[in-house]
């Protein structure tokens, strides 16, 4: 026995190394020591003829301990442990349940046999940490599934179910659900004395790819857009190529190690590893312990049949939660339902869900024209027009129909939640659930905590968002909450620069080169320039474009013109409008501005607003702001989000950059910079 390892010998000389190190049996030093001790013990014990490696708790090993990558390695390292295991001349069986991920799967691939329960999943998700499978995965997986399939699996990082893994040969046998240990021991008994297969000895699946560099070039070219800015995919491709090209397994391993080390030292991986923990941190609320009771949400009402409420309804339906969809008119309701149906049918056509799954979802919707239909709902989400008076009216009426204890949520993106809550006699049951469009796709939900929202309601909203597969970020009440408020600065500065003579294209290109999928003007054209609530107080380019009936891609173009295929082109009309507004407002041209300067001018103010959001305790922590920007606005994850990015470039530089733009830096930013400290460390 060790702290986390139990070593028992079962009938027939089967040594079982059982590891139990919650929460996910990550292969940190404690787990490594436990496996090392168990394997040495059974290797030296003549009575043991075969070994089973199994885990307790909810999963097999879910990977290397990601937190350890920031520290010097401690022996036995993963490689030392794996070498030890591979050198044991007794058959070893990996018994998998839950998820065998990263170094967990790599460990299983070193074992001679793999058995898994049908509910298990296996995968190599290192790419999402900006890494590659660095414990033999890039060399062994192609030897089992071939280079093309291995590339797909490692680049998507998505785990595959055990049944699929069996088909692919990644596992050898399926076990009975609930009978893994018995089945693994039984399998071990049958292989004693037989030559134990080793993945490293195989060539059959990689040899056909040898001498075909075009496989990798094509793959890179096909995925160029998706890989932009990321470092890991390129190195994964090189490592897989090495698996095919370098016949000598150990030489291939050396190449993998080199490529892994390069990624581990990269800023992209540092950012992505930071993000891994940041995303999990958002659920932790200092004054609301995890043990806070939550309310069961089985039936939900969604009000407002527009695109937003349709997406919100779909998020619940996807999670198997019944929705009553309420609209003011029959036409709007029918239209809303038709859109939902169409979206699901499109998904079915693309093979993303079965017709039965579509039917199950649609059967969960009850359409209604009267708020009275929401009398029994556990939660009601309002997504009507973004006007305080309209929202207050809905909340007052809801207060009258909703059962006591029901939670009333608003999807407002800018308004004062406390004012909305004041229209009810139960402000403690009112919370913001701010989804981002398209709500059924985007993973961010800002949970807005009003001045009087109860701890139970906040805890329920956070847990519910997770149940929907979303990432909840808690925000206090302020105009725009976290993501819209900070990213609004990017738009404001983009407007400023365009009035100083830069073209929308120059600005968008600089922002795209930074890593965003779209620049601010492309985004505005896509969303539409006539979105309500812009509330401009002075003459703006967007306002003049709307007056000229240029609403964006949907009508007559906006900042850009669009050809028949929808491709954007510079617009002489927009250029004239920009020049007119600049002249009317007396704004002088800025002269030459480099790409790097454009990025600083647009994004330092985002950091500054983030500092204010922190200073005002709107966000709990800097990493929550990063998660909101990444998931709400597709801020490039390989930079870690605005606050991590600012820390990486140095806060002093940000303060100086703001000063150069005549923007007053937030006190917290100035103080943190002066202390030589950082937001995210």
Residue 299: strand pairing partners: 322
Nearest approach, Cβ of residue 398 and ligand 3H9 (Å): 33
Closer by beta carbon to ligand 3H9, 26 or else 187: 26
Least gap, CB of 325 to ligand 3H9 (angstroms): 30
Cα separation, 162 vs 169, in Å, equals 10
Q: Is 413 annotated as catalytic?
A: yes
Residues in touch with ligand 3H9 (CB under 6 A)? 23-24, 26, 59, 62-67, 78, 99, 101-103, 106, 125-126, 129, 131, 133-135, 137, 277, 280
CA dihedral of residues 104, 108, 111, 116 (deg, nearest 10): 140
In 194-331, at which residue ranges do the beta strands (DSSP E only) sit?
A: 299-303, 322-326
Number of residues written out for the chain? 681
Of the candidates 241, 309, 434, 609, the residue annotated as catalytic is 434
The residue annotated as part of the active site, out of 315, 411, 475, 484, is 484
Known catalytic membership, residue 434:
yes
Q: Report the C-alpha gap between 250 and 257 in whole angstroms.
A: 10
**Cβ–Cβ < 8 Å for 607, 645:** yes
Please state the separation of Cα 595 from the chain's center in Å. Answer: 28
620-655 per-residue burial string, b: 16 or more CB within 10 A, e: under 16: bbbbbbbbbbbbbbebbbbbbbbbbbbbeeebeebb
| Closer of 103 and 598 to ligand 3H9 (Cβ) | 103
Closest CA to 465 of 622, 336, 619, 294: 294
Q: Shortest Cβ distance from residue 350 to ligand 3H9 (Å)?
A: 25
Least distance to ligand 3H9 from the beta carbon of 655, Å? 33
Among 615, 607, 616, 625, residue whose Cα is nearest residue 668: 615
Cβ closer to ligand 3H9: 24 or 406? 24
C-alpha closest to that of 555 among 517, 522, 521, 526: 526
For residue 447, what are the β-bridge partners?
433, 474
Q: Which is nearer to ligand 3H9, 66 or 141 (CB)?
A: 66
Nearer to ligand 3H9, 99 or 553 (CB): 99
Angle between helices 214-222 and 232-245 (to 10 degrees): 160
Is 484 an annotated catalytic residue?
A: yes
For 369, other C-beta atoms within 10 Å of its C-beta total 13
Least Å distance, CB 205 to ligand 3H9, is: 20
Q: Report, in Å, the least distance between residue 134 CB and ligand 3H9.
A: 4
Catalytic residue among 266, 413, 440, 571: 413
Q: Closest distance between ligand 3H9 and the C-beta of residue 133, in Å? A: 4
Considering the complex, state which of residue 377 and residue 445 has its C-beta at the smaller distance from ligand 3H9: 445
Instruction: Give 66 or 477: the residue with its C-beta nearer to ligand 3H9.
Output: 66
Task: Indicate which residue of 10, 327, 446, 489 is catalytic.
Answer: 446
Beta bridge partners of 367: 325
Q: 3-state class of 7 per DSSP?
A: strand
Active site residues: 413, 434, 446, 484
């Amino acid at each position: 026995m060790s702290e986390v390892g139990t070593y028992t010998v079962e009938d027939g000389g089967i040594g079982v190394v059982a590891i139990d190190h919650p929460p996910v049996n990550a292969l940190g030093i404690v787990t490594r020591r436990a496996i090392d001790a168990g394997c040495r013990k059974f290797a030296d014990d003549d009575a043991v003829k075969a070994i089973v490696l199994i885990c307790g708790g909810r999963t097999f090993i879910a990977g290397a301990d990601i937190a350890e990558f920031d520290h010097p390695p401690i022996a036995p390292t993963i490689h030392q442990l794996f070498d030890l295991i591979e050198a044991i001349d007794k058959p070893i069986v990996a018994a998998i349940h839950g998820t065998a991920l990263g170094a967990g799967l790599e460990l299983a691939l070193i074992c001679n046999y793999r058995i898994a329960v049908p509910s298990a999943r296996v995968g190599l998700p290192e790419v999402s940490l900006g890494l590659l499978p660095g414990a033999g995965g890039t060399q062994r997986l192609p030897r089992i599934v071939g280079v093309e399939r291995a590339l797909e699996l490692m680049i998507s990082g998505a785990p595959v179910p055990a049944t699929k893994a069996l088909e692919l040969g990644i596992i050898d046998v399926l076990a009975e659900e609930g009978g893994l240990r018995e089945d693994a021991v039984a399998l071990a008994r049958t292989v004693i004395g037989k030559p134990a297969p080793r993945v490293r000895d195989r060539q059959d699946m990689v040899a056909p790819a040898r001498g075909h560099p075009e496989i990798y070039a094509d793959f890179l070219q096909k995925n160029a857009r998706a890989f932009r800015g990321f470092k890991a995919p390129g190195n994964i491709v090189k490592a897989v190529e090495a698996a095919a090209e370098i016949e000598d397994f150990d030489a291939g391993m050396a190449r993998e190690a080199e490529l892994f080390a390069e990624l581990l030292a990269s800023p992209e991986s540092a950012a992505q590893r930071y993000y891994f923990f940041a995303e999990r941190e958002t659920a932790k609320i200092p004054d609301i312990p995890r043990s806070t009771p939550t309310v069961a949400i089985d039936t939900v009402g969604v009000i407002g049949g527009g695109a937003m409420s349709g997406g919100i309804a779909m998020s619940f339906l996807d999670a198997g939660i019944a929705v009553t969809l309420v609209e003011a008119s029959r036409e709007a309701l029918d239209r809303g339902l038709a859109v939902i149906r169409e979206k699901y049918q499109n998904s079915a056509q693309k093979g993303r869900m079965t017709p039965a799954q579509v039917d199950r979802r649609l059967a969960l919707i009850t359409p209604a024209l009267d708020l009275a239909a929401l009398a029994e709902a556990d939660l009601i989400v309002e997504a009507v027009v973004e006007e305080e008076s309209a929202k207050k009216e809905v909340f007052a009426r809801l207060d009258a129909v909703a059962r006591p204890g029901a939670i009333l949520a608003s999807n407002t993106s800018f308004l004062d939640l406390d004012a909305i809550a004041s229209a009810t006699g139960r402000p403690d049951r009112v919370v913001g659930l701010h989804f981002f469009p398209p709500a059924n796709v985007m993973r961010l939900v800002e949970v807005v905590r009003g001045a009087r929202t109860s701890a139970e309601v906040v805890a329920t909203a956070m847990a519910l968002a997770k149940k929907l597969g979303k990432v909840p970020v808690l925000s206090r009440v302020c105009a725009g909450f976290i993501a819209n408020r900070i990213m609004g600065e990017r738009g404001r500065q983009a407007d400023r620069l365009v009035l100083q003579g830069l073209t929308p294209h120059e600005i968008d290109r600089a922002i795209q080169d930074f890593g965003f999928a779209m620049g601010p003007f492309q985004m505005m054209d896509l969303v539409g320039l006539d979105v309500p609530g812009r509330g401009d107080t002075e003459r703006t380019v967007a306002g003049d474009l709307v007056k000229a009936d240029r609403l964006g891609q949907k009508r007559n173009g906006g900042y850009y013109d669009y050809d028949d295929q929808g491709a954007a082109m510079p617009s002489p009309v927009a250029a004239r409008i920009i020049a007119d507004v600049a002249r009317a407002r007396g704004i002088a041209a800025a002269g030459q501005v480099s790409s790097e300067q454009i990025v600083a001018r647009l994004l330092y103010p985002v950091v500054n607003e983030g500092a204010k959001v922190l200073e005002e305790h709107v966000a709990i922590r800097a990493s929550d702001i990063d998660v909101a920007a990444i998931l709400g606005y597709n801020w490039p994850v390989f930079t870690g989000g605005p606050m991590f990015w600012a820390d990486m470039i140095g806060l002093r530089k940000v303060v100086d950059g703001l000063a150069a733009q005549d923007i007053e830096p937030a006190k917290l930013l100035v103080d943190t910079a002066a202390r030589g400290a950082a937001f995210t460390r």
